[in-house]
């Protein structure tokens, strides 16, 4: 008596670890999050089944579908998480659909995080006083490390498809991160397919994101950028290679970080149209936008097609480099199908 689907699923997940693996046997609707905490050495096979948040399920903390905390050496395969955004209240809060908190040596394969009321995937080391350092500060050991998202999907989420807030030696390989929209119309976005953006906390150790590779990914029809790379609290050594950026509304890539490589990427369908109805939103600039304060950046072999960027003042070139970017911006091997009216607007020092 009193046993529920949520309790039965939680007991199932509690049994994982030390070589014990699990296989879902069907689709389930849940009212609040499931937790895998302090486990190591397991695999969870979703077998293509779905964990769906119930109609009206609360957002905020506890409103995720799956929360992994302090786990190591694990893999999740073929699981679908559905945030049921249409029947819940989207908000910029902690109800990210799949959360990875302080986990190391892990891999997601063909995991989906769709229709989230905030982010699809969240990779981080805790918030507030959730770190292992003095006073709960995040330490470098807390930051998720040696991880892979392979052929994963995040669609129709409210704030981000995937947020990388802390992490080292991570690889996003294949998959699709698209159709993010909503928050730019009421607040400050960024509604990116993938957002690399630590929370600003000057009392924590800096440089909490580094050595991230994003390869062969489709980023399409996001309200903001396909990929946003900030420099908040130090972000460095990011490689974006062989990715396709298809009709993202604000930009294909916005980058402000140090040591960023953008190699052999394709940009399809960039134009001068507004990306939001919010009058306080910043201006739209280039399809590849290297912003104020950006450090050394290499843009090698970009390809542009179906571009419609003719406009007053050439405000939306294929490549824009802010005058406040640092020296060391390299652009080479630009290719175009001839549709673009403005290829590059480069203002930074050599």
pLDDT (tens digit, 0 to 9) for every residue of the chain, 350 residues total? 579 999 999 999 999 999 999 999 999 999 999 999 999 999 999 999 999 999 999 999 999 999 999 999 999 999 999 999 999 999 999 999 999 999 999 999 999 999 999 999 999 998 878 888 888 889 999 999 999 999 999 999 999 999 999 999 999 999 999 999 999 999 999 999 999 999 999 889 999 999 999 999 999 999 999 999 999 999 999 999 999 999 999 999 999 999 999 999 999 999 999 999 999 999 999 999 999 999 999 999 999 999 999 877 779 999 999 999 998 999 999 999 999 999 999 997 65
In this predicted structure, what is the pLDDT of residue 348? 75
The count of other CB atoms within 10 Å of the CB of residue 250 is: 27
In this predicted structure, what is the pLDDT of residue 304? 98
pTM value is 0.97
**Token pair in block for residue 210:** 């580094």
In this predicted structure, what is the pLDDT of residue 155? 99
List, in sequence order, the alpha helices (H) in the chain: 5-14
In this predicted structure, what is the pLDDT of residue 2? 77
In this predicted structure, what is the pLDDT of residue 1? 55
Q: If you ran DSSP here, which 8-state letter would residue 282 be given? A: P
- The CA distance from 244 to 303, in Å, is 10
Q: If you ran DSSP here, which 8-state letter would residue 209 be given? A: E
Residues contacting residue 243 through CB under 8 Å, at least 6 positions apart:
214, 215, 216, 217, 218, 219, 226, 227, 265, 266
Residue 101: closest CA among 135, 75, 138? 138
Please list the residues that pair with 268 across neighbouring strands: 246, 305
In this predicted structure, what is the pLDDT of residue 130? 82
In this predicted structure, what is the pLDDT of residue 107? 98
Residues contacting residue 3 through CB under 8 Å, at least 6 positions apart:
none
């Amino acid at each position: 008596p009193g046993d529920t689907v949520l309790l039965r699923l939680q007991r199932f997940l509690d049994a994982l670890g030390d070589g014990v693996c699990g296989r879902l046997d069907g689709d389930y609707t849940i009212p609040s999050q499931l937790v895998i905490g302090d486990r190591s050495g397991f695999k969870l096979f979703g077998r293509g089944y779905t964990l769906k948040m119930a109609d009206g399920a609360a957002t905020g903390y506890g409103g995720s579908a799956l929360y992994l905390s302090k786990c190591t050496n694990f893999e999740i395969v073929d699981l679908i998480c559905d945030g049921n955004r249409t029947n819940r209240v989207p908000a910029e809060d902690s109800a990210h659909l799949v959360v990875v908190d302080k986990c190391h040596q892990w891999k997601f394969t063909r995991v989906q995080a769709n229709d989230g009321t905030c982010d699809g995937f969240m990779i981080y080391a805790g918030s507030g006083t959730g770190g292992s350092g003095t006073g709960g500060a995040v330490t470098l050991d807390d930051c998720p490390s040696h991880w892979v998202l392979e052929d994963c999907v995040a669609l129709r989420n409210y704030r981000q498809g995937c947020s990388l807030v802390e992490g080292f030696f991570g690889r996003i390989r294949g998959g699709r991160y698209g159709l993010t929209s909503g928050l730019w119309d009421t607040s400050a976005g960024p509604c990116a397919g993938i957002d690399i953006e630590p929370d600003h906390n000057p009392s924590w150790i800096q440089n909490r994101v580094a050595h991230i590779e994003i390869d062969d990914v489709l980023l399409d029809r996001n309200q903001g950028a396909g990929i946003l790379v900030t420099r908040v609290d130090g972000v460095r050594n990011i490689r974006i290679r062989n990715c396709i950026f298809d009709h993202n509304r604000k930009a294909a890539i916005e980058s402000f970080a140090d040591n960023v490589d953008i190699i052999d990427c394709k940009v399809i369908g960039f134009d001068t149209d507004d990306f939001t109805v919010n009058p306080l939103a910043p201006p739209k600039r280039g399809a590849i936008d290297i912003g104020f304060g950006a450090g050394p950046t290499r843009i090698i072999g970009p390809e542009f097609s179906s571009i419609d960027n003719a406009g007053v003042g050439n405000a939306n070139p294929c490549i824009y480099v802010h005058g406040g970017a640092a020296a060391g911006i390299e652009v080479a091997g630009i290719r175009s199908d001839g549709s673009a009216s403005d290829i590059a607007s480069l203002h930074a020092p050599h």
